[in-house]
Homo-oligomer: A and B are copies of this chain.
Amino acid sequence: MTYGSARMKEPNVPNRKTLLTLPTPCLVLDRAKLRRNIARMKAACARTGVKLRPHLKTAKSIEVARLFDGPDSPGIAVSTLLEAEYFASNGIRDIQYAVGITPDKLDRVAAIQREGARVTLITDDLGTAQAICRHATEANAVFHVQIEIDCGERRSGVEPDSPLVLEIARTLAGDENVVFDGVMTHAGHSYGCRSLKEIEAVAEAERLAVVTAAERIRATGIPCPTVSVGSSPTALHARHLEGVTETRAGVFMFGDVFQAQILTCDLEDLAVSVLTEVTGHRADLRHMTVDAGALAMSKDRSTENVSNDVGFGLAADIDGSVYSPQLTIARVYQEHGLIPVALPHALDDFTIGSRLRIYPNHVCMTASMYPRYFVVDSEESDGIEVVEEWKRISGW
């Protein structure tokens, strides 16, 4: 059994930056895989006939957002107001803030809109809907608002058959400074599915929840233009999305080991990895340490409950190929990751300083610690040359 010698850092060469010269740990994005993942999702949306509203909470990068430009992707979704501010300042005009708004965040929303973007809000609360109306009048602002529907995730949202759906719709639609824009839901519980059949069932429940709510609203005479669903598994695998106008999804762009196991992608599609180097050997304990620990990987353990638990990440060589037999980060400390090996002599293939790439459990969590992507391209270059650097934001 041998892994083949892992490659070491190389001396810096002017005008050439590669995965063998970057300081570790850092975040690597394979542009070719990113483009393929986006193309696959666009094809799925073309099949179901809905527009794609990419959720940028995972990527948090304007360069990634621009890969979606086109008439079939009219806008984006975000999860923080900082993201809304960032993307608005980079020219994106149609932004859905897909987390329940609170009244005290409305001033910040109004400020973003004064610069020219529209920020569509969501709420599941009648008092908040009333506060939005009051605030719109006081601030001389126009707010576009959707009602959040619960399609079975049981986190937030209104049940689709609740009287509250109509009360909120009436409140919003009855105010001249508010545009009632429709209904939205998020099938986050699709992450609990383990087969295509289960995903299809959740996708249908997701569709039915918002379509039901929309039809009830329309039956009262109130227009309900937007009917929005979203989660990467359901967006890819829904059998049909009749009555739905758009779908939001984010993690599919990058993929991660968890998503690969719940059928959103294959391991070969994972676009984001953490570049790390071997920092120590403990042959007596049959493990090596790497400089990708809890901060570099996050403490997400999404794969704990799927068939292949990869600990805190799945190791690959510098070219991104997963090792066989599999190597994983089994334990993390703040700055140490610990990779067990079956036999001590396997450590001979991983000299101290040799470089690995680690695919994360949950890329949204892992990427959050990094201020930039070092972009490689496994189709247009050798796959280890840094062809671009894309900033990413974090925080609120």
> Which residues A100-142 have CB closer than 8 A to chain B?
100, 102-105, 108, 124-125, 127-128
State in angstroms the CA–CA spacing of A9 and B102 once bound together: 10
Q: Is the CB of B127 within 8 A of A396?
A: no
Give A127's nearest chain B residue, CB to CB.
B352
Residue A289 interfacial (CB < 8 Å): yes
State in angstroms the CA–CA spacing of A352 and B25 once bound together: 40
Residue A300 interfacial (CB < 8 Å): yes
Q: Is the CB of B396 within 8 A of A108?
A: no
A148 to chain B, nearest CB (A): 9
Q: Of the candidates B99, B284, B285, B291, which one forms a contact with A335 in the assembled complex, judged by CB atoms under 8 Å apart?
A: B99
State in angstroms the CA–CA spacing of A367 and B127 once bound together: 33
State in angstroms the CA–CA spacing of A93 and B58 once bound together: 39
Residues of chain B with a CB closer than 8 A to A301's CB: 299
How many of these chains are in the complex?
A: 2
Residues of chain B with a CB closer than 8 A to A281's CB: 125
Residues of chain B with a CB closer than 8 A to A79's CB: 334-335
Q: Of the candidates B103, B104, B280, which one forms a contact with A125 in the assembled complex, judged by CB atoms under 8 Å apart?
A: B280
Q: Of the candidates B102, B277, B331, which one forms a contact with A104 in the assembled complex, judged by CB atoms under 8 Å apart?
A: B277
Q: Is the CB of B279 within 8 A of A334?
A: no
Total count of chain A residues near the partner, CB < 8 A: 61
Q: Is the CB of A352 within 8 A of B299?
A: no
Q: Is the CB of B80 within 8 A of A352?
A: no
A218 to chain B, nearest CB (A): 25
State in angstroms the CA–CA spacing of A132 and B124 once bound together: 61
Which one, A168-176, A368-376, A381-389, is touching chain B?
Answer: A368-376
Residues of chain B with a CB closer than 8 A to A291's CB: 99, 102, 396
A182 to chain B, nearest CB (A): 19
Between-chain CB contacts (< 8 Å), 9 pairs: A23-B105, A24-B396, A26-B396, A99-B335, A102-B353, A103-B352, A154-B282, A295-B365, A370-B395
List 20 additional contacts besides A25-B396, A156-B280; criterion CB under 8 Å: A8-B104, A23-B108, A26-B396, A99-B336, A100-B279, A100-B280, A100-B289, A102-B353, A103-B353, A104-B277, A125-B281, A128-B352, A188-B333, A291-B396, A298-B298, A334-B364, A369-B369, A369-B394, A369-B395, A370-B395
